Amino acid sequence: MVLQNNTVLIISQSGRMLANAAKHAGYQPLVIDLFTDQDTAEIAVQLWLVDDLSLASMRDIIPAVLSKYKVAALIYGSGMENQPESLAYLAQSFKIFANTASTCQQLNNKKTFFKQLDKLTIRYPEVRFSLPQDKTGWLIKPIQHIGGLGISHCDRVATKNEYYQRFYTGQSGSVLFCSDGLHFDLIGWQWQWSRTVDDFSFAGIVQDCILPQEAQQEVLVWLAKLVAEYELKGLASLDFIWNGEKCYFLEINPRPPASMMLYPELDLFTAHITGKLRPQQLDKSIRALQIVYARQDCGIPKNIKWPQWSCDHPQIASNIPANAPICSIIAQEKTVQLTLDSLLVRQQFIENNLY
């Protein structure tokens, strides 16, 4: 598929990842996001700051975009999958890649979605929409969550926008793929980790497959069923948990996930637009991505020099509250352990320069 011009609009909580991919693919990115990081500003032709991705925010900002630019396509990232009203509004003015507002709504309708998983014989941790008699071993999960935010152990009654799911110990993983609504191309396997045992916020991800061959095949069968059932398109990921014996489905992220950054040698932006991955040789080294969270309140000094292996840099003089993300760091080594060791050293470097 060839776009009519090379100007694309990126809308995401943080637009840097997609803007960078767009630029490397030969496009001129416009960006609307919630952070306006330094490196996003350097990449984007123009950058707009919004408070959220709601329909009201989109109605406020989109007329300014349309008055100045002719946009060939709109590509959305994290957060927009939870804003079907915004997506429906944006579809009136732009060609959107890749999954529609309707698809996102179907995935977010948890009662119907889990019934469909049963029909497709896809194994997942037990869910409930009423309070379990014994809250031990249950989680409360927001129907619309991003990167594990808002997930907690069950110690209260869930709201109407939450549900209960069994808590299984094990290793969380994901598979990155690209699909055209009918078939999918496998890009890679990853495992990931959260901040702490009790904080499920996404903290990092590394290229590595934790599943034995039989479990891998089972997950790929699940993926084939879901791609066909929901006509999934573009880059996306399937998250799962492996307890050492069985694999359990967790969720589909119907937009480009953070694991996209682990494969810079691939033109994944074009793959997202076309739904097909062009044959390209994968780098044999191991990459990992980690979010550096603030241990305490801190400010971004004027003289800070960000290392090349970091990204998502906050604006100078901005204040980062405790437990909020500061930036992202990337490492690349020959083995998984060496890569994780490198991440730790780089995390300490960032922290030593800020605190």
pLDDT at 3: 67
Read off the amino acid at residue 287: R
Does 115 fall in a domain?
no
According to DSSP, the β-strands at 28-33 and 7-11 are parallel
Clarify whether residues 310 and 267 are in a common domain: no
Percent of the chain with pLDDT over 90: 93
Domain holding 339, by residue range, is: 286-354
CA 84 to chain centre: 17
Q: What's the mean pLDDT in 5-34?
A: 97
Calculate the average pLDDT of the chain: 95
Band of pLDDT at residue 2, cut at 50, 70 and 90? low
pLDDT at 7: 97
Number of domains in the chain: 4
**Can you give the pTM of this predicted structure?**
0.95
Does 317 fall in a domain?
yes
pLDDT at 145: 83
Distance CA 107, CA 84 (A): 11
Residue 334: pLDDT over 90: yes
User: Is there a contact between 217 and 274 (Cβ–Cβ < 8 Å)?
Assistant: no
Q: What's the mean pLDDT in 52-65?
A: 97
Clarify whether residues 230 and 317 are in a common domain: no
pLDDT at 198: 87
Does 31 fall in a domain?
yes
Q: Cα angle at 270 between 234 and 146, to 5 degrees?
A: 45
Q: What's the mean pLDDT in 237-266?
A: 97
CATH assignment of the domain containing 21: 3.40.50.20
